[in-house]
Structure 1
Amino acid sequence: MPFANFKFPEGVIDATRKEEIIHRTTAMFVEYFGEGVRPYSMVLVEEVTDGGWGRADETLTLAKMGLAPKT
């Protein structure tokens, strides 16, 4: 079963964008593996609490990245 897990800072993307990510990722799986994988493809789009993630040993926040949450 193809599986993709996307994580975004909370409030950065809206429901429309999440749906687009799901559709486009599923289409990519079908392109690579064939139509038979569509019913078994899973795409998980998660929102991570601001400050609840990091990279290179640094906790990241929207403010540090110069971003503001979508309202």
Structure 2
Amino acid sequence: MASPNVVIGRESVRGDAIAAKVHQDIAFLTDRLHRLESQTNPNPQVLKVYRDMLESRYAVLDWLSQSGEPH
């Protein structure tokens, strides 16, 4: 079954296209976090920003997966 559209402002966007982009973001952020964490002395503020961004992407993905339910 096709993913329902998501309305952003006045534009209707395919939900599966958004999910694909979010998956790409998650992969990038996960890789970046691993690289930062492997540094000798990673900047805690930068780590927090990337973790917050990753958490946000997972929240969007969760919201998209609940597309059949009212929001």
Length-normalised TM-score, structure 2: 0.36
Length-normalised TM-score, structure 1: 0.36
Return the structure number with greater relative CO, CA threshold 8 A, min gap 6: 1
Which is richer in helix? 2
Which is richer in strand? 1
